[in-house]
Amino acid sequence: MTIHLAKACGLCNNCSDEKSEAGAECDCGNNPSEWVANCSLCHDLLDESQSIHIPDYLLEEAGIPKGAKLEAYTDGNSGEITVVEADIQQDLGDVPPCILSVLAQSGICLAALDELIMQESIIYGK
């Protein structure tokens, strides 16, 4: 499975500074797990503080199902933040943490995997 995901997603090459070569300039060497650990895109995907959490009673009032994925946007002029049900309900957050850990340690680009999941791409099989 890891080999198929690596072929589909590629190895992480952001290295927190969007370098074009994996590990080239971030002192990550040839350690794939460090590539992911130092990648700002992959790090943000794994960071729970990036998730939007709204109390259930407010979701109910808004007609948003409990457990639905949410997205937020701002109105720069008013300073308001609007939270809505996300159009795409599948993402990297649906992958069990133990699997994500294995993928990250293998250096697989989690941002690319997230994109493939959201696009409902078939990575293996038909």
Tell me the pTM: 0.68
Number of H helices, E strands in the chain: 6, 2
Q: Is residue 124 part of a domain?
A: no
Q: Is residue 21 part of a domain?
A: yes
Query: Which of 7-11, 41-45, 82-86, 98-102 is predicted with the least confidence, judged by mean pLDDT?
Result: 41-45
The answer to whether 42 touches 111, Cβ cutoff 8 Å, is yes
Element (H, E) at 75: strand 70-75
**74-87: pLDDT as tens digits:** 988 888 999 999 88
Better pLDDT: 31 or 82: 82
Q: Is residue 125 part of a domain?
A: no
Name the domain count of the chain: 1
Residue 62 has pLDDT above 60, yes or no: yes
